[in-house]
Structure 1
């Protein structure tokens, strides 16, 4: 049987063999990243306790929300344009796109950090009704530029198919550095505070940004290039790509912020832990998207539409096969899974089930978002994400005010499902095939 699998693998086309190798590498390191992120949630909950970990998750969610908004669409732009130039060997365009991205993102994220730092007392007291969160929010303000930049470095490395470096830059690195520091926190602070944990996260994120830049510039022909700061194709696509990315990435973090407005610190911790755990359902989706997104762009740009279809459908089948066993575990033992965060978290098993259902629909529709954005149909995806984002936030405000964190979970699950089903119909309309075929 093993030899038959090897023969089957060797009979595949070189590009498809490379796809499987990169997918396997991405899966391996994404497993580490997802496991580390899950472990970080568990450690934060156990070290800080329900109340302080709620403040930590609130500050972290706000920082990541603003950090992703400050990417200005350059994350998807890097995947699309550097993905194309990497295949064609155009290092000039690669350098220009990377420089343009930094010129846009660095000052924007810095201004956002200053605004959050100055407004933290007002946010903590008037918006979240948690005056004790002031110091935590102020410290997390310093993380905003670093979050934007380590994501930017990661997407650039992803576009050049540098799988390991990209995963380390975007997720794994900051988590791995924060974890041991957080575990050590009780040794020098009798009562661990969320503000101290926030400082540790800021330091870790700064180190990851520096490491990501070193990995990017270690390639000989990469440099900072200010020769073309008016790239029409890049800047024309950026607004649509920004709305897509901002809405898609911001909703999970914005949901925690909205919960923080209506609920107690403990309930913020319960909701955040359940949401982070439900993301394990879509783990394989993130893995496949990670590898497939720049390939979608290259295949579409080369006119290889049949290969594009086969890659999209193969990707969806892989995602479904790997995700359903995780869903089964969540449906059978939700309370036991949530109790890993602490005994008091076991009561939030119902939240995990609701959020997991939304993530399952996300997986079953396939890589619809990247198919549209990487193939030049970013306006369609923008319309879908903006509608779904407004719908989700509105639903969250209504249902959270009525049913608390249970309503928030229902709103997020319905919103994720709505966005992906609408995008699925657009893929069929624009590209002529179903990714779930």
Structure 2
């Protein structure tokens, strides 16, 4: 290869990028939305990492395990409580914005918020009562669970607000409350308290700081949504198409619970058959491996509503080109991150404390499975957007059962390694199966590889 040819490579690469991302308005939005999401998530990642290091060092593996277990249950209960309304909002807000259906847009936002708030209130009362009656008598555990579970309405409404902003094509703004405001406030509260308190902070005090941070995040998100809502929406009377919206809800409730069992079932089972120390170590290990999803999450947040907008037009050729662009971008930007995370795993875990370093092999295993799974792009959201949530529900249900069975089988034998094997195996099976389902139902291949095929006809289903 000549020197002249080498010098031309950057220019050629930039020309390819411009051709891919500046081709249409949607691809330009994908580019700038992804860049904005990456910036917000990078800042949020740093803040969350600092907060995690601080909390792990304050509480130790056992105390952090109690805190992480409570937060995991909050996340688990959020999924069925939100009833898939976040996906309803994402799909219909994007569609109504595209067709300028301002009255329906206002109606779906208002309806989702009221229904989500009612469901969250009922679930919160039930879950706190359950903990009071049946949980361990350990006071630190009970109080941490009560404080954390009381946040459920705020977390549900926050996710609904985020979906509405994403549907309005503001993916970067949508992430600011949860990715910058929340971890920033948590870090500030915990660090400030650790400096002013004479005795070491307890897990209950950390739970209170976490609650205060969520309240600040919620108030910020409410303000941002009000500022970004199009003026015609505010001036319109809401119209309600409840039958159409609620058709998505039953399978999405099931999907939400199944997906959380897939993504956090390993940790929940570990809390049942393992120790608080194992939960604490595995929580930090999982957090490290989830850095692999940094690019994947940013592009998914930017691209999901755009996929819905293109799908509404019926242009399946453009839909395939858009999907391939998104998955190729995930692959090539994630690849160097994968090798970096594999290399720095022991050093990274050492930041949280010496007792966490033992999990570096598990972090490498989870990082590998997350990387492979991310190559399918936002296939789950694509199936939601195209109305095939029932297929997702079936696949999710089967994989959730597989994950729980593997977790109960492997964790008593292999500990946190068994949890990682169970989680990774089911994740790859899930994504691979859904790629096939998307192709069969919609005719779109959600992979970063090219195939010679006719694209342009929607499959029945």
Task: Return the TM-score normalized by structure 1.
Answer: 0.93
Give the Cα–Cα distance (whole angstroms) in 1 for the partners of residues 38 and 190 of structure 2. 26
1:124/1:131 contact within 8 Å kept = no
Matches of 1:225 and 1:410, distance apart in 2: 52
CA contact (8 A) 2:251 2:389 kept: yes
Deviation at 1:225, TM superposition (A): 8.7
* 2:172 corresponds to 1:164: yes
Contact 1:65-1:254 within 8 A present in 2 as well = no
On the 8 A contact 1:392/1:412 being kept in 2, the answer is yes
Which residue number in structure 2 is paired with residue 332 of structure 1? 343
The match for 1:216 among 201, 225, 231 is 225
| Alignment equivalent of 2:248, drawn from 223, 230, 237 | 237
- Cα gap change, 1:196/1:222 in structure 2, threshold over 3 Å: closer, same or farther? farther
Tell me by how many angstroms 1:222 deviates.
Answer: 3.9
1:192 matched to which residue of 2? 201
Unaligned runs of 5+ in 2: 1-7, 450-461
The 2-side partners of 1:145 and 1:198 are apart by 16
Paired residues of 2:261 and 2:403 also in contact (CA < 8 A): no
Partner of 1:415: 426
Give the drift of 1:53: 1.2
Kept in 1, the 8 Å contact 2:105–2:238? The answer is no
**Distance in 1 between residues matched to 2:98 and 2:166, nearest whole Å:** 13
User: 1:150 is matched with which residue: 153, 158, 161?
Assistant: 158
Matched, 1:37 2:48: yes
TM-score of the superposed pair, with normalisation by structure 2: 0.88
Q: Which residue of 2 aligns with 1:50?
A: 61
Quick check: 2:120–2:156 contact (8 Å CA) kept in 1?
yes
SS of 1:279's partner is: helix
Q: After the TM superposition, which residues 25-174 of structure 1 pair with which residues of structure 2 at under 5 Å, given as runs? A: 25-125=36-136, 132-174=140-182
Q: Quick check: 305-314 or 336-345, which moved more?
A: 336-345
**Cα separation, 1, equivalents of 2:132 and 2:412:** 24
The alpha carbon displacement at 1:7 in A equals 9.4
Alignment correspondent of 2:212: 203
Q: How much has 1:421 moved relative to structure 2?
A: 0.8
* Counterparts of 1:7 and 1:389, CA distance in 2: 41
Give the CA deviation at 1:79: 0.9
Greater mean deviation of Cα atoms: 409-418 or 328-337: 328-337
**C-alpha RMSD of matched pairs (Å):** 2.2
Is 2:380–2:392's contact at 8 Å kept on the other side of the alignment? yes
Matched with 2:191 is 183
More displaced, 396-405 or 277-286? 396-405
Q: Is the 8 A contact 2:103 2:238 kept in 1?
A: no
Q: Deviations over 1:278-333 (max 9, x none)?
A: 11112211111111111111111110111110111111111111112122123223
Task: Give 1:180 deviation, angstroms.
Answer: 1.1
Partner of 2:298: 287
Question: In the alignment, which of 341, 348, 354 is matched to residue 365 of structure 2?
Answer: 354
Contact in 2 for aligned 1:52/1:194 (Cα 8 Å): yes
Equivalent residue for 2:324, pick from 313, 319, 322: 313
| Unaligned ranges ≥5, structure 1 | none
Contact 1:240 1:379 in 2 (8 A): yes
- Counterpart Cα distance in 1 of 2:152 and 2:36: 29
Distance 1:152 1:243, change over 3 A: same
Q: 1:13 to 1:228 in 2, by over 3 A?
A: closer
Aligned pair in 2 of structure 1 residues 36, 139: CA closer, same or farther (>3 Å)?
A: same
Counterpart of 2:351 in 1: which secondary structure?
Answer: helix
Deviation of 1:112 (Å): 1.7
Go from structure 1 to structure 2 and tell me whether the alpha carbon gap of 1:228 and 1:51 turns closer, same or farther (over 3 Å shift). Answer: same
**Which residue does the alignment assign to 2:452?**
none
Whether contact under 8 Å (1:99, 1:226) holds in the other structure is no
CA–CA distance in 1 between the matches of 2:242 and 2:69? 37
Q: CA deviation at 1:227?
A: 5.1
| Counterparts of 1:195 and 1:427, CA distance in 2 | 45
Distance in structure 2 (CA, Å) of the matches to 1:311 and 1:327: 24
Looking at structure 2, the residues matched to 288 and 299 of structure 1 have their Cα atoms a distance apart, in angstroms, of 16
Provide closer, same or farther for how the CA distance between residues 371 and 174 of structure 1 changes in structure 2, counting only shifts above 3 A. same
Q: Check whether the contact 1:116–1:137 (CA below 8 A) recurs between aligned residues.
A: no
Check the 8 A contact 2:438/2:445 in 1, yes or no.
Answer: yes
- Contact 1:392 / 1:415 at 8 angstroms: preserved in 2? yes
Paired residue for 1:342? Answer: 353
